Amino acid sequence: MKFEDLHLCVGDSLQVQFLNDECEEERYTIKLLGYNKDRSVIATTPMLHGKIIRMRPGQEFNIRLTSPRFMCAFRSYVETIHTQPYSYMHLGYPAAVEAIDYRKSVRVKVNLGVSLITKSLLEESGQCEASVADISISGARLQTNSQIGEIGDAVTLITNVTLADIKRELLITGILRSQKRINTTNDEHCNEYGIEFLPGDEENRLALYCYVYSQFADTFA
């Protein structure tokens, strides 16, 4: 996708992450001031505690942003920095932008431990442990050594996730839609299930959205 196809507006937020720098893990929010197609992107300079972060021409960034339709990422660099009449910078115009359409269900690979509860498990041991291999806002693929039920059975997933440095319990209900035996990396066998999520309460649904899209954003890191 081309940068200009995002139709961003002045004042839109961009999240920058320094590359090849001791602050590489830090992310800062800057504001878009404009752009000149194929020339440069103009934005405010990143600040920390009210002070401009020291940068140099050629400093490279990973830049992430969201628009009403897309979650995007691209790489750029500082061309020039200006301090008058206020602090702003010109960034190299991106040749291309990686973008995911919000209208499509984003599926990301994870390694998330969960506890499962189904009718069959309640009749036996109560619950079992499983690992989520990938997840989207509409479902998940999970692996477990246990037989958790039959196709069409209801299932409840319980896990703990971290959202913006806040740990919280996530409880999701769903339906078993597929099941097969697979070989693991250790040449062992386990059961793999496809789960379709059901609409849950607003709080858990919001937490699920935040978790999925935060995991997706991390794939650009």
- Three-state DSSP at 9 gives coil
* Ranges of each domain in the chain: 3-101, 108-218
CA distance 53 to 70: 28
CA distance 135 to 215: 10
pLDDT in tens, 138-194: 899 999 988 888 899 999 999 999 887 788 899 999 999 999 988 766 656 789 999
CATH number for domain 3-101, candidates 3.50.30.10, 2.30.110.10, 2.40.30.10, 3.30.420.40: 2.30.110.10
Residue 120's pLDDT is 75
CATH number for domain 108-218, candidates 2.40.10.220, 3.40.50.2020, 1.10.3720.10, 3.40.50.800: 2.40.10.220
- Three-state DSSP at 100 gives strand
In sequence order, the 6+-apart residues with CB closer than 8 A to the CB of 51 are none
Residue 177 tokens, joined:
């839609």
Rounded to a whole number of angstroms, the distance between the first and last alpha carbons of the chain is 19
Q: Which of 45-49, 61-65, 162-166, 179-183 has the lowest mean pLDDT?
A: 162-166
Instruction: Tell me the CB-side half-sphere exposure of residue 175, using CA atoms within 13 A.
Output: 7
Residue 88's pLDDT is 95
- Let me know if the fold of 3-101 is the same as that of 108-218: no
pTM of the model: 0.54
